Amino acid sequence: MPETKTLPASLDAIIVGAGFGGMYMLHRLRGLGLSARIIEAADGVGGTWYWNRYPGARCDVESMQYSFSFDEALQQEWTWSERFAAQPEILRYANHVADRYDLRRDIHFETRVESAAYDEAADRWTVTTDKGDVVTARFCIMATGCLSAARLPDIPGISAFRGETYHTGYWPHHKVDFSGKRVAVIGTGSSAIQAIPVIAAEAAQVTVFQRTPNFSIPSRNAPMDEAYEQSWKSDYRAKRLKARSMRTGILYDINPQSAIEVSEAERLAEYERRWANGGTAFMGAYHDLILNKASNDTAAEFVRNKIRSTVKDPVTAEALAPKDHPIGTKRICVDTDYYETYNRPNVALVNLRRTPIETITATGIRTSDAEHEFDAIVFATGFDAMTGALLKIDFQGRDGRRLSQEWEHGPRSYLGLMVAGFPNLFMITGPGSPSVLSNMIVSIEQHVDWISDLLGHMKARGQGCVEATEEAQEAWVAHGSEVAQRTLYPTAASWYMGANIPGKPRVFMPYIGGVGAYRERCDEIAARGYEGFRLA
Ligand code: FAD
Ligand code: N01
């Protein structure tokens, strides 16, 4: 158990969240000589990898890339056992980072931040927690995560069920034993697609309740190849630099051609090659897959045909083949034996587009045409993404402005880093930055480094206050929306658009301009004396 500590009444900085973002931020602030503490709701570090312990949980960015790059010694000493690391190994890595940099002594676990109010006269934030702490700090840094507010659906009768219930994003710490049980899985996003094959291998029966099918690419996960690991470790610095300039912050080969400028035979060969290689690099087959519907259709149809040739029952195959959104406009999934799992005799798919759920009952789930009985229900129903964790905190900025009101029609920020009217409040991978469209560790490091450099710059000049200007924010929001409109992304009812939460504004929340271009922009802004920010 973590030891109980008292929070100091006054600090230079408060960081909320002890995932990768919060941990690296604490490390950098210590380096600047600032007094800082992390406040974390969980009883351990790791964020996403602490909470999402569902069977099959795994990274879809290769292990050699989904790790910190800020310390050469750290990246050389850590060894990954698989091409794509599983949740327990990533959690071990997070704990290793916490120990290696002695971070725990400044982390307050099992404490949730409830509100933060800016006191203009003192130029300080007052933060309150669910434990009754009241702490003031000059800087407040939100490392609260884009996918940390797990969401249960609004299905009638949800609390009536008498069996076991689980949410993938809030999974128990003990092993859940599904053997001999009849299990329902609601949802077919990335979490479900990873969990279903593993649960199906153990349970007596699995019934998947699907509203919208997703595109999934096989991971081709394998034990780490030593030569491959060495090829990274002997050249880590250069490879990381290259990755930072890429669109997604992931080093993989993006074909500069258009999918429709090559012959069908050439195109199919390229898709086959990438399908055989596995992972999200499939989307790099042609540069315009996410820009041009005709190009996208070729990749989408290729994957649909893979589903049709894998799943033996043609009705199930057709139900699993996505047709309502271009491939990649919802986060593409990466799996191990997902489609193959539907060939198992103990797995069934319920197509909710045909037979919607009417209610959850004490013993199971009733759809418009059947009553299904279960021992357990797994909700793989996702998150209130990007804004959910932030808006659970009652932020009051300058002149009593509330963040919930400022963002009533969707999140607005300058660079996804700050919000006008909320001085000295930073977001790590906030809406308006590449965040969830990238290798998140690359984006986290970029934000933490940029914020640290700014705070160092201010310290050297005796400045204590920074705020985004309204004009810079307006221009950034307009630019973000304009860039998004040039892509196919806004055509999908995705969580990127807030579409998974009833009543949430439909705004494309992340910045799609690319990790490399975004980094350049942030660096230029800093070089011009933090253009668009008011420093005092
Ligand atoms: P998080 O890890 O989400 O940490 C935020 C922390 O803040 C949490 O511990 C939370 O408890 C805490 N917190 C939030 N609000 C409060 C509050 N009010 N008070 C106190 N504490 C609070 N990204 C990739 O790049 N590649 C992947 O393959 C990948 N796979 C993923 C798989 C899953 C299942 C999920 C859910 C996400 C995945 N992601 C992936 C995204 C992942 O969230 C990031 O990669 C990364 O771990 C985020 O780190 P973070 O520190 O920003 O946030
Ligand atoms: O959540 P999701 P997730 N009735 O929102 C369904 C990252 N991640 O946890 O599409 C029935 O994608 C919903 O259906 P619909 C990654 O960024 C990465 O799976 O709304 N169904 C959908 O099928 C990912 O994108 C990995 O029609 C309901 C599902 O629940 C993000 O986290 C692994 C419903 C939710 O899918 C979120 O993924 C895991 C209802 N009332 C997560 N409500 C990697 O592999 C919702 N659904 C790296």
H or E segment at 376? strand 376-379
Interval between CA 440 and ligand 1 midpoint (Å): 9
Amino acid at 156: P
Find the Cα–Cα–Cα–Cα dihedral 406, 407, 412, 417, rounded to 10°: 90
Q: Which of the 8 DSSP states describes residue 137?
A: E
Q: Tens digit of pLDDT per residue, the chain (536 long)? A: 555 578 999 999 999 999 999 999 999 999 999 999 999 999 999 999 999 999 999 999 999 999 999 999 999 999 999 999 999 999 999 999 999 999 999 999 999 999 999 999 999 999 999 999 999 999 999 999 999 999 999 999 999 999 999 999 999 999 999 999 999 999 999 999 999 999 999 999 999 999 999 999 999 999 999 999 999 999 999 999 999 999 999 999 999 999 999 999 999 999 999 999 999 999 999 999 999 999 999 999 999 999 999 999 999 999 999 999 999 999 999 999 999 999 999 999 999 999 999 999 999 999 999 999 999 999 999 999 999 999 999 999 999 999 999 999 999 999 999 999 999 999 999 999 999 999 999 999 999 999 999 999 999 999 999 999 999 999 999 999 999 999 999 999 999 999 999 999 999 999 999 999 999 999 999 999 999 999 99
Index of the ligand 2 atom closest to the CA of residue 381 = 30
Task: Quickly list H helices, 249-334.
Answer: 264-277, 293-310, 314-320
Q: Which structure tokens are listed for 146?
A: 């884009």
CB 207 within 8 A of CB 188: no
Q: Is 192 in the pocket of ligand 2 (CB under 6 A)?
A: yes
Interval between CA 6 and ligand 1 midpoint (Å): 25
CA angle 17, 21, 24 (to 5 degrees): 110
CA gap 209, 192 in Å, rounded? 10
Index of the ligand 1 atom closest to the CA of residue 50 = 9
CB 495 within 8 A of CB 510: no
CA gap 504, 411 in Å, rounded? 11
Mutate to test the pocket of ligand 1, among 82, 112, 148, 500 (most ligand atoms within 8 A of CB): 148
pLDDT for the residue 4? 58
pLDDT, tens only, 13-58? 999 999 999 999 999 999 999 999 999 999 999 999 999 999 999 9
Q: Is 155 in the pocket of ligand 2 (CB under 6 A)?
A: yes
pLDDT, tens only, 292-317? 999 999 999 999 999 999 999 999 99
CB atoms within 10 A of CB 121: 5
**Residues paired with residue 39 on neighbouring β-strands, in sequence order:** 16, 108
| Ligand 1 environment, Cβ below 6 A | 16-22, 39-42, 47-48, 50, 52, 57, 59-61, 66, 112-113, 143-148, 191, 389, 392-393, 428-429, 439-440, 444
pLDDT for the residue 356? 97
pLDDT, tens only, 91-144? 999 999 999 999 999 999 999 999 999 999 999 999 999 999 999 999 999 999
Tell me what ipTM this predicted complex has: 0.99
**pTM (predicted TM-score):** 0.98
Residue nearest to atom 41 of ligand 2 (CA): 153
CB 431 within 8 A of CB 413: yes
CA gap 276, 209 in Å, rounded? 29
Q: Is 168 in the pocket of ligand 2 (CB under 6 A)?
A: yes
Interval between CA 383 and ligand 2 midpoint (Å): 7
Would you call 3 exposed, middle or buried from its count of C-beta atoms within 10 A (0-12, 13-18, 19+)?
exposed
Q: Which of the 8 DSSP states describes residue 315?
A: H
Q: At what angle do helices 293-310 and 264-277 cross, to 10 degrees?
A: 60
Interval between CA 381 and ligand 2 midpoint (Å): 5
CA gap 416, 194 in Å, rounded? 30
Residue nearest to atom 29 of ligand 2 (CA): 187
Report residue 418: phi and psi, to 5°.
-145, 160
Average pLDDT, the chain: 97
Q: Which ligand is nearest to the CA of 378?
A: 2
CA gap 500, 494 in Å, rounded? 6
The closest alpha carbon to 533, from 425, 381, 444, belongs to 425
Interval between CA 187 and ligand 2 midpoint (Å): 6
Q: Which ligand is nearest to the CA of 336?
A: 2
Interval between CA 314 and ligand 1 midpoint (Å): 38
Residue nearest to atom 47 of ligand 1 (CA): 48
Interval between CA 397 and ligand 2 midpoint (Å): 33
Q: Is 276 helix (H, G, I), strand (E, B) or coil?
A: helix
Mutate to test the pocket of ligand 1, among 48, 66, 436 (most ligand atoms within 8 A of CB): 48
Index of the ligand 2 atom closest to the CA of residue 211 = 27
pLDDT for the residue 6? 87
The closest alpha carbon to 458, from 8, 11, 9, 12, belongs to 12
